[in-house]
Structure formats: C-alpha cells, structure tokens
A = this chain, B = another copy of it.
Amino acid sequence: MVAVEHPQVRSTERGAEPRLRSTRGPRYEAAVLGFRHYWYPALLSRHLGKKPQTIKMLGEDLVFVRGEAGRPYALYDRCAHRGMPLSAGTCLSAGTITCPYHGWTFDVANGDLVAALTDGPQSAVVGKIGKRVRSYPVEERNGIIYVYMGDANPPPLEADVPEEMLSPDYTFSVVVSLWHSNWRAGIENGYDAAHAPYIHRDSLRWRTAMRLQPAWGGYVQSVVEGKYLRQTRGGERGYEAEYPRVGRWPRHTRLRKALAKLGERQTRPSIQTNEFRLPCIIRNRYTYYHHVRWAVPVDAHTSRTFQALVGPYDGARAAAFKAQYWLWHRWVFHMWFNGQDEKVIAQLEYDAPEQLFRPDSSIVGLRKYIEAHARTGDPEPGVPEPDFSGERYP
C-alpha cells in the first residue's frame, strides 16, 4: 500500500485555518492498551466455575481459576516452560493448574512451579523462582472478580473501585459485553456532553422519554471531587430551536410529546452527575440509583464493558430493585440505550484529525485530567494518594 495523506488535512490546506492539534497528551495518546497500575473488573463471579477461563486484558492473556475454598486467582496465560496457554490445562488438585503440554504445575496463588510431573517428584526446577509464572493480585467482591494489572504492591481495592460496588449498603446488577472500539472512545463517549441529545434522541428509555431533555448546554467545566472528575454545567440550556438550513430541532414525535406531558406531572428529576474516575470508569448518579460503567481495555480495538446499576437498597427493596433491573433497565438502558453508543463509536475513526466545539470542553477536560493524574507506577504502600479536589478542567 502507498501512504495517502488524510483527505481532511488535504482539504484544510486549501486555504483553511490550521487544524487543531489533538488535545490528547502524550501519556494518554500512548495508553492504547490502558493504564497498568489499577484494579480492573475482569469477569463476573458466576462466569468462573471449575474450568479455567482465559480473559484478555490490557493486551495480555490472563487465566483465571478458582483455588482452595473457591478463591479466584489469575496467572499470565502462558506456561513458563514453552509458552503453552495454561487455560488449555486442568486443575489436578485444588490450588494448582497443570500445563497441558508437559505437566508443569503451578500454584495458582503465586505462580510458583510446584511440580514438573514428567520430570518426576524430585525435579530440580520445582520452586525455582525463574520458572514461575507471573501472577496477578485478585479480589472477589459482591459477584465481581477484580485483578490488579500493575507490577506489585497493589493498593487496597477501595482505592480504585467505586464505594457503592463494595459497600454492604448497596445492591447492584451487572451486565458485561464486548464493545468494538478502543477503551478511550468508550470513556470519552460516556463523558461527552453533547452526544446524548443526538444519539439518544429517539430513545424510549423511561427517564429520557418522560421528559424532554436539553438539546444543548453551554461550555462545560469539570471539577475534581475526591476520586472523581465531575461535570458542572454553566449557563444556558436549550430544548428546541429553529436552525438555519435545518429547521426546527429536535423534532419530537407525538408519542414523545405526549409522554413528556405525562412526565411533567411526576417528579423524577433528571440526571444529577456525570463523572469520570480513573482508570476507565463513568458514573452517573440519578435520584434512585447510580449507573457505573467500566470500559476495560482488551486490545487496541476492543474493550470489555461492565455496566452496573447500583441502588442503596437491602432486603425486599433490593430484590425488587434487581427484579426491575432484569425486567427493564438491563434491556432498555444497558443494552438498547447504551447500545446506541456502542454502535456509533464502533464506526468512529478514533485517530482521525479532530475539530472540537464548545461541548467538547467536557472531553478536553477529561483528557487533561487523565494526562495529569493517571498513575505511572504502583502507589506507595501505606501512603495515601494526594487529593486533587477542587482542581478545574479544562
């Protein structure tokens, strides 16, 4: 193939103003496979049984297994011996996994080589530190198995996972799906202040449909509040207008208008916050529940999306909340509504030249925040991470 200059750039050279440089800083630009020094959700507890499971994360293949007392562990999914995937092997005894090729057997808890079956019980390689397989810190909480992708000394899980996913005061339901786009397109879409009124304009998701949503807002400033970057909308909003060339927009259907009229009588307020948290978390707080979504990097073109609907419920109210999730939110919110995003960003040419506009102040803020604060190494054990609350972006 020959190199072809990007047609948009060629267009610009024809007497146009210079194209803006990307607002992605160098660290964020390089993080095609994500930032390593964080806890990430890997899979749901109910998806890991007796058989080893292979999961690709941040470009690496990991094998997850349950050891003694059902505790989950993760190893790099290649035998130290010859590079065979351990996930094709078997667990001959609790707490070990045996390679399918020559029977090298590893302790799933730390990756140590505990037996080399085909070299006999006296094999000299057993216990040698150089023969071990990389192991990854793993924690299982409330039905989700998390893995730490950094080098060592993982911080406590609480440092990286939203508190409502860990607290006994909350209940939640989760759906996991592969999105066919880079993880950065996934989080930028979630934090994007402008896409919703267009992409989701025809959605019949309850709280979107039952009241007319703003079609635009002003410049978006973001402010750090603890672990979160939160949007604060300034100034004016608009709901409908006459545009030159286009005419009236949005053009609501009669059904939509009728629903909105009904909706005016009720008091369900709209979204309260749109927040980002490192490494790849979008959180939206609503009156009755939170929506928490991770876009976990898989490879350069794929992310694994964990979407949780979390509410401060227990007992019978928790059961009702879960029932409502399975009967409604899972399908209408997580699969259909957010599926509209997935479908769009799967087609996005993420590395194309960009021309940003006012609502992209949200994304510019997000990018600058990530560039400034994404971890570059394991956190110092016992040293609390600094609190940047109050910083404003962009």
Contact = CB atoms under 8 A, between A and B. Distances in A.
Given A33-B2, A354-B82, A195 B101 contact: yes
Taking residues whose C-beta sits less than 8 angstroms from the other chain, chain A's interface range is 35 or more
A328 interface: no
Contacts of A358: 119, 123-125
A350 interface: yes
A81 B132 contact: no
B30 A2 contact: yes
Interface stretch (A90-98, A270-278, A282-290, A366-374): A90-98
B118 A197 contact: yes
Contact of A357 (B32, B81, B151, B359): B81
A38 interface: no
Contacts of A4: 33, 59-60
B129 A355 contact: no
A161 interface: no
Given A60-B7, A107-B245, A357-B123, A215 B19 contact: no
A76 B11 contact: yes
B84 A121 contact: no
A300 interface: yes
Interface centre among A78, A124, A243 (most CB of B within 10 A): A243
Contacts of A14: 151-152
A198 B101 contact: yes
A143 B287 CA distance: 58
Interface stretch (A42-50, A204-212, A341-349): A341-349
A82 to B, nearest CB: 6
A131 interface: yes
Interface of A: 1-2, 4, 7-8, 10-12, 14-20, 30, 32-33, 59-60, 76, 78, 80-85, 88, 92-93, 95-96, 98, 100-105, 107, 111, 114-121, 123-125, 128-134, 151-152, 192, 194-195, 197-199, 215-216, 236, 238, 241-247, 249-250, 300, 344, 347-359
